[in-house]
Amino acid sequence: MKFDIYSLTARVLPAFLSSVPFFLLNYFLLNPLMGDFWGELLALKIVSNITFSFALLFLLMQIDRIISKEFIEKNIYKNELYFPTTNFLLHLDKTFSSDFTRKIHQKIKKDFGLNIPSATSESMDNDHSRQLICESVSLIRSRVEKGNLVGQHNAEYGFIRNLAGGNILAALASLINVIVFGFIYPNQLAFWISCATLFIYSLLALFSKKMIDAVGYRYAKVLIQEYMGNYESTNK
């Protein structure tokens, strides 16, 4: 896997932040239970702890992303048809002026040969208009993906989106820890830490949609503005 700025920000960091309950379980329960065994294999224990950490982070990276994209993002944006970028390019949307929206549509036609439906066609078949705009936005992303500002906002959006999946997973793991350390293998310190992580991750999970919407809105505006900025600079 290539670890660039996007991967570190949007995938590794959310996985690290959502790994706390799992390391708590390992530190307070798994290591003590297996202490005698690892005591006879000290070198292997060190290697095992390092391997466990990397394996856990890699696993969380995959699970966080799957939960975030397949369940959270698709539920919020209905398979990209209601992404902020899609909404912004509709005739009825008022984020940009009608003149600016028309210029965007003209540039899309010039660059990619895609005709965005008129306002009348849009009102008659909104889903078709959204689908064409989605396809156009995918091409726009590939056109401006190397822009510094777009790249920064894309990484921020990826971080918040993947953290949303991580929050759900970490909240469930924290709940398990509360049960384990409260009733099965009592440990007061681990129990109260787990209660704190359960509260924090649950609170973050509750606000996930608002956070994704806010960051997604900013990313969408920057993407379109940078796309049109490139257009203006090449037409001076």
Residues 48-89 pLDDT 10s: 566 777 888 999 999 999 999 999 999 999 888 999 999 999
Counting the structural domains of the chain, the total is: 1
**Tens digit of each residue's pLDDT (9 = 90 or more) over 167-212:** 999 999 999 999 999 999 999 999 999 999 999 999 999 999 999 9
Q: Is 105 domain-assigned?
A: no
**Is residue 108, in this structure, part of any structural domain at all?**
no
CA-wise closest residue to 154 among 17, 18, 9: 9
Place of tokens 């906002």: 153
91-119 residue pLDDT tens: 999 999 999 999 999 999 999 999 999 99
**Residue pair 7/158 in contact by the 8 Å Cβ criterion:** no
How would you classify residue 78: left for phi > 0, otherwise alpha for psi between -120 and 50, otherwise beta?
Answer: left
168 is a domain residue:
yes
Q: What is the mean pLDDT of the chain?
A: 88
The 10 Å Cβ neighbour count of residue 211 is 17
Residue 16, domain member (yes or no): yes
Domain annotation covers residue 196: yes
> Is residue 160 within 8 Å of residue 204, measured between CB atoms?
no
Cβ neighbour number for residue 77 with a 10 Å cutoff: 19
Q: Collect all residues with Cβ–Cβ distance below 8 Å to 118 and sequence separation of at least 6.
A: 91
In terms of residue numbers, what domain contains 68? 5-77+146-234
